[in-house]
């Protein structure tokens, strides 16, 4: 007889791990117990020595599909003579931490039951089990038990309670478990419409959210729910805009095949130009208008179901409204990930635009009263429910580049799962992140908890969401920061938040954080070459950086190269109007009088050129920038792609979109030594001159754009080789928003490898500023003894 005590850590709560352990122990004839704790899952088993060893192995190897087993600590103990195997009540341990599962897309078994008229949950919009459903968006504290979630206000009916208490049932201790009788219910509000024949209790009022909820008649509830779904589907079929309460917040939806509906949504949401994501019923539907490779198909149909950026087919005219993609060659597509989505798409029978339920730059709405107030000028009708959302979450966005999955926005389905650190921290760290695409990071022990996408930190509403989410992470994961890292830019709200904390502080340069966020993912602490190309970052010399060649490790960096600096006339005004950056670039390079610049100059407003040159020459509100992102803006304006940007990065995105991949040749930057001899300067003058020559000679803009991209790739390889020789390394880390460009990223990776260098890029975090807080946190930890 052998007895073993096991402590299992990882994502082992809310994913059916205890019933898995229970059933495995019974299958093997072992005695003992299992329980949830704030520190993970604990169990004790007694039995034959070989069987106990087999049990210990299978705990890891055969774990439930949504479980992530990080560690299994086994310790031999004295047998106590247990009779049978039981699941004990959860225990809370003061200060203990366990991981929490992200929300999980509806599983295949629940999907089958959802569309079965014979099943008691057939058509129930909130069907779930231990393998799927809401998790992080409903949890307030650990251990993960129903009283700690927003489901505590829904007392289970006898049938659900029996399933919940049966270890052999797949809904055993599924905390969101419910049905028509006892669970959350739908509501339909159409402020300026009629009742559409719905019963009076179909309209949401504040009283609808008052707990506890009484049990109801199943058949009556099913009819009521189906009628609400039918009304919501009719709104969409009629070309209306519908606000839908989802897992982590509201979506705003419309018919993706109607250009009129799409235009109306854009106007009301103030989202002009920026591409919209769509949701369709099946993978076959996606393939009707997009190219889908094997890896993309796995992402679309998996347990996360993020928005996947896909290349549009050439023969899709008429399927999806042109205004959805905003004139680009790719589109964000996702499949339904909640039962409500499945039912709504089935009722509408066509693809739907699904975009965040907010006005541009605001956090998404989560509460019913909040949505009716904030989205009242956008939506014609509201599809609501009475299950509260505790944590606000956007949809995640990913894409596949050269076979690698690259996160674009990390949120639902991925956060709050942590990144395993290549070290164990002896101090808890908070990193407050940048301004755009903000995330924060909390480090404790061997984990870095990178938050879900917060958004652009530009208003009080986002700051409030940010502060609340920091407190949630600190509480859930028992983190007590002792130092705080922040961006050097003094005006960022995230920086000001850090400055207000009574903690030792570590200021971190933006592009250094970008590179360390890559190297720390790969566990590389030694010096590397860092190529950090983006739009804007506050530099160590007080100028705006964005085309940086660094040699750096986790503690510090040396700037060994950068793009030639150009004045940014008007600061943010030049970012919003790329034509300004084009004029400044041409003037600085002595090329404004070139015949290829005349089309741009002719499009300028009266006196605009004179005022811009005056600003540049006299240094009036024209900070110097080495930003590669701004160079993309300038080139886009020079060749007539985009003079004014309606959203961040639009000019660069559209410049990539017009590239002709069949074009031959490339331009070439000059790589020169700076005046003080301290670093290399990437001089764009010969590239811009060739662009103007060919534009004047009416070479197609697709050819010009492609040659510009290839020139940048060649410059990356050349400066990387120089810096690698200087640093004595072959590793080159690529980071920053410019590498969201598929052509630049893919080309740089291939050409660096061909040069004998080892390119590193992100695996679990975005290339853009969504990764900066992780780099900040690692740098702060590395410098902790100097604070």
Q: 57-90, pLDDT tens digit by residue?
A: 999 999 988 889 989 999 999 999 999 999 998 8
CA atoms of 487 and 647, how far apart (whole Å):
23
Q: What tokens does 593 get?
A: 């009088």
DSSP one-letter string for 452-484: PP-B---SHHHHHHHHHHHHHHHHHTT---SEE
CB 445 within 8 A of CB 422: no
In 14-96, which residue ranges form alpha helices assigned H by DSSP? Answer: 17-27, 49-61
pLDDT digits (tens, 9 = 90+) for 735-781: 999 999 999 999 999 999 999 999 999 999 999 999 999 999 999 99
- In the structure encoding, which two tokens stand for residue 765, read together? 């975090």
pLDDT of 247 above 90: yes
- 501, HSE (Cβ side, Cα atoms, 13 Å): 23
DSSP state of 659: -
Query: Would you state the pLDDT for residue 655?
Result: 97
Quote the percentage of the chain above a pLDDT of 70.
99
Q: Report strand pairing: 758-760 vs 731-735.
A: parallel
Looking at 314-318, 396-400, 437-441, which range is the least confident one? 314-318
C-alpha–C-alpha distance, residues 782 and 173, integer Å:
42
Beta strands in 204-351 (DSSP E): 242-245, 250-255, 277-279, 307-311, 330-334
Cβ(716)–Cβ(749) under 8 Å?
no
**For 474-508, b where at least 16 C-beta lie within 10 A, e where not — what string?**
bebbbbebebbbbbbbeebbbbebbeeeeeebbbb
pLDDT of residue 404: 87
Q: Whole-prediction pTM value?
A: 0.93
Question: Which token pair is 288?
Answer: 């009707």
Mean pLDDT value across residues 527-532: 98
Residue 484 has a pLDDT of 98
Q: 299-349: per-residue pLDDT in tens? A: 999 999 999 999 998 876 558 999 999 889 899 999 999 999 999 999 999
- 408 closest CA partner among 310, 312, 496: 310
Confidence of residue 367 (pLDDT cuts 50, 70, 90): very high
Tokens of 787: 């604070």
Separation of alpha carbons 159 and 682, rounded Å: 70
Give per-residue pLDDT as tens, 141-161: 887 889 999 999 999 999 999
Lookup: tokens for 217: 């008649």
Q: Based on C-alpha coordinates, what's the Rg of the chain?
A: 28
Spell out the residues 6+ positions from residue 655 whose beta carbon is closer than 8 angstroms to its own: 632, 635, 636, 641, 642, 705, 708
Of 331, 389, 472, nearest in space to 137 by CA: 389
Structure tokens at 141: 């504290």
Return the pLDDT at 318.
58
The residues pairing with 532 across neighbouring beta strands, listed in sequence order, are: 548, 735
Mean pLDDT of the chain: 94
* pLDDT for residue 316: 60
> Is residue 382 within 8 Å of residue 372, measured between CB atoms?
yes
Tell me what the mean pLDDT of segment 534-545 comes to.
93
The SS3 call for residue 634 is: helix
**Rounded to whole angstroms, how far apart are CA atoms 766 and 772?**
9
Q: Give the distance between the most distant pair of CA atoms in the chain.
A: 92
pLDDT exceeds cutoff 80 at 33: yes
Rounded CA-CA distance 546/735 in Å is 11
Model pLDDT, residue 119: 96
Strand order in the sheet with 429-431: 419-420, 447-450, 441-444, 429-431, 483-487, 505-508
Q: Is the pLDDT of residue 193 over 90?
A: no
Q: Which residue, 8, 53, 10, is CA-closest to 28?
A: 53
- Taking the C-alpha atoms of residue 778 and residue 775, their distance in angstroms, rounded to an integer, is 5
pLDDT digits (tens, 9 = 90+) for 617-663: 999 999 999 999 999 999 999 999 999 999 999 999 999 999 999 99
CA 46, 48, 49, 51 torsion-angle sign:
negative
């Amino acid at each position: 007889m052998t007895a073993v005590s096991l402590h299992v850590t990882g994502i082992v709560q809310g994913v059916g791990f205890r019933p898995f352990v229970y059933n495995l122990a019974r299958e093997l004839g072992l005695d003992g117990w299992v329980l949830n704790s704030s520190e993970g899952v604990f169990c004790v088993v007694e039995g034959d020595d070989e069987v106990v060893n087999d049990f210990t192995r299978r705990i890891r190897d055969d774990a439930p599909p949504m479980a992530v087993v990080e560690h299994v600590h086994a310790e031999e103990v004295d047998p106590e003579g247990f009779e049978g195997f039981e699941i004990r009540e959860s225990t809370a341990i003061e200060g203990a931490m366990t991981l929490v599962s992200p929300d999980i897309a509806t599983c295949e078994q629940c999907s089958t039951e959802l569309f079965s008229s014979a099943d008691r949950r057939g058509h129930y919009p909130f069907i779930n089990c231990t393998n799927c459903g809401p998790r992080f968006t409903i949890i307030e504290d650990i251990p993960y038990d129903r009283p700690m979630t927003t489901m505590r206000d829904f007392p289970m009916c006898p049938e659900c309670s029996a399933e919940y208490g049966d270890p052999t049932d797949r809904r055993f201790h599924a905390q969101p478990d419910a049905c028509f009788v006892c669970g959350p219910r739908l509501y339909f509000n159409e402020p300026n419409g009629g009742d559409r024949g719905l019963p009076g209790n179909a309209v949401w009022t504040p009283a609808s959210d008052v707990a506890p909820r009484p049990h109801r008649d199943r058949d009556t509830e099913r009819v009521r729910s189906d009628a609400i779904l039918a009304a919501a589907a009719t709104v969409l079929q009629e070309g209306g805009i519908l606000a839908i309460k989802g897992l982590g917040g509201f979506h705003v939806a419309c018919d993706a095949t109607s250009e009129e509906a799409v235009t109306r949504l854009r106007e009301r949401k103030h989202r002009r130009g920026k591409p919209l994501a769509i949701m369709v019923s099946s993978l076959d539907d996606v393939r009707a208008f997009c190219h889908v490779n094997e890896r993309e198909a796995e992402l679309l149909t998996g347990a996360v179901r993020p928005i996947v950026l896909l290349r549009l087919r050439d023969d899709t005219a008429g399927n999806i409204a042109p205004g959805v993609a905003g004139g680009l060659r790719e589109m964000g597509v996702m499949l339904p990930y909640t039962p409500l989505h499945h039912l709504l798409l089935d009722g509408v029978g066509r693809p739907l635009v699904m975009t965040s339920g907010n006005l541009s730059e605001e956090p998404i709405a989560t509460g019913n009263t909040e949505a009716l107030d904030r989205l009242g000028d956008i939506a014609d009708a509201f599809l609501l429910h009475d299950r509260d959302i505790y944590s606000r979450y956007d949809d995640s966005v990913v894409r596949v580049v050269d076979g690698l999955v690259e996160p674009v926005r990390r949120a639902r389905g991925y956060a709050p799962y942590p990144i395993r650190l290549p070290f164990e921290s002896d101090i808890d760290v908070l990193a407050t992140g940048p301004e755009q695409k903000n995330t924060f990071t909390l480090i404790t022990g061997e984990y870095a908890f990178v938050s879900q996408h917060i958004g652009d930190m530009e208003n009080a509403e986002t700051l409030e969401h940010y502060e609340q989410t920091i407190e949630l992470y600190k509480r859930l994961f028992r983190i007590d920061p002792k130092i705080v890292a922040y961006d050097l830019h003094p005006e960022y709200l995230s920086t000001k938040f850090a400055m207000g904390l009574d903690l030792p502080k570590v200021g971190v340069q933006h592009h250094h954080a970008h590179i360390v966020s890559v190297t720390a993912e790969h566990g590389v602490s030694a010096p590397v070459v860092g190529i950090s190309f983006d739009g804007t970052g506050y530099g160590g010399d007080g100028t705006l950086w964005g085309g940086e060649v660094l040699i750096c490790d986790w503690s510090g960096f040396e700037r060994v190269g950068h793009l030639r600096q150009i004045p940014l006339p008007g600061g943010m005004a030049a970012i919003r109007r790329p034509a300004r950056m084009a004029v400044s670039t041409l003037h600085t390079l002595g090329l404004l009088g070139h015949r290829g610049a005349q089309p741009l100059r002719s499009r300028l407003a009266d006196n605009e050129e004179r005022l811009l040159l005056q600003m540049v020459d006299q240094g009036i509100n024209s900070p110097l920038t080495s930003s590669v992102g701004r160079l993309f803006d300038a080139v886009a304006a020079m060749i007539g792609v985009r003079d004014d940007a309606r959203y961040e990065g639009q000019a660069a995105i559209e410049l990539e979109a017009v590239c002709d991949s069949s074009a031959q040749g490339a331009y070439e930057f000059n790589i020169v030594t700076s005046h003080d001899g301290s670093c290399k300067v990437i001089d764009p003058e010969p590239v811009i001159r060739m662009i103007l020559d060919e534009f004047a000679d009416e070479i197609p803009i697709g050819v010009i754009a492609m040659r510009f991209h290839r020139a940048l790739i060649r410059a990356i390889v050349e400066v990387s080789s120089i810096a690698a020789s200087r640093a004595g390394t072959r590793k080159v880390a690529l980071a920053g928003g410019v590498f969201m460009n598929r052509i630049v990223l893919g080309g740089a990776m291939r050409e660096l490898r061909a040069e004998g260098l080892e390119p590193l890029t992100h695996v679990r975090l975005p290339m853009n500023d969504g990764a900066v807080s992780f780099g900040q946190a690692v740098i702060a930890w590395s410098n902790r003894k100097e604070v």
